Amino acid sequence: MPSFAGKVAVITGAGSGIGRALAGQLAAQGCHLALADIDADSLEATAAPLRREGLRLSTHVLDVADRDAVHVFADRVMTHHGGAHLVINNAGVTVSQTIAELRYDDFEWLMGINFWGVVHGTKAFLPHLLAQGEGHIVNLSSIFGIVSVPTQGAYNASKFAVRGFTEALRQELHRTPIKVTCVHPGGIRTNIARSARFYQGADGRTDASRAAARFDRLARTSAEQAAGIIIKGVQSGRPRIMVGADARFLDHLQRLLPAAYPRLLGKLMKKG
């Protein structure tokens, strides 16, 4: 998809962070938008400055963990916009807790959004993309879908699952006109750490405010920079997009030292 002008992009988790940045940059390229988020106020804050003559923009309050709601959302997008060309399953949350102490309801909440939200978005829109004969599905995994760290077991599980699901989908669709991309952001300056269900840091004692401040220090890539990298990668048809120098470094580290990287990563995290 070399040009987004006149196309329709669907973005979940559009109320903040990477989703909001993607909406702004795609709108600047003449792309029509169907924006979804569970938070109506944040969704409107994203949409309000983008509304202008000639741009079709619809907003949808949506819980991506609700399968039926996502399928209704897809039908409404197709009716309102007449099609969808770029589907970005971006909505995500995190929980910080050891696996031994992780509650089942927290695990289910996170998987419902991070993994099932991607599955629902893909399954709801894929028949429409196939019927229209073009489209691109972009699923947000994470560098934590490539490497694992303590207290992020649930998040790791969800993002590894997104990666596996997306890579299988790409192989299944390789003889069709539908392209598939998996995105692996590193540390991105968004509100995900502040909106997390936080119980415990990697050291077993860090409180939520200190962890958020530490995340801010380590997250070197802005949401706007991340969105730009993703858009360029989609335009060039890349199947996998690494976002940030930290993501590229950790990807290489895991490839070179698949057994030793946890020990090395632990030392780096303590220094941070």
Residue identified by tokens 């109506």 is 40
Tokens of 55: 């741009």
Phi/psi of residue 203, each to 5°?
A: -90, 0
Q: Which residues contact 37 (CB under 8 A, 6 or more apart)?
A: 12, 13, 14, 15, 16, 19, 43, 46, 61, 62, 91
Sheet holding 32-37, edge to edge: 57-61, 32-37, 8-12, 86-89, 135-140, 178-185, 240-243
Q: Indicate which residue of 104, 155, 199, 261 is catalytic.
A: 155
Which one-letter amino acid corresponds to residue 202? Answer: A
* Helix, strand, coil content of the chain in percent (nearest 5): 50, 20, 30
Give 83's contacts (C-beta < 8 A, 6+ positions apart): 8, 128, 132
- Annotated catalytic residue 261: no
Neighbours of 256 (CB within 10 A): 9
Residues labelled as active-site residues: 155
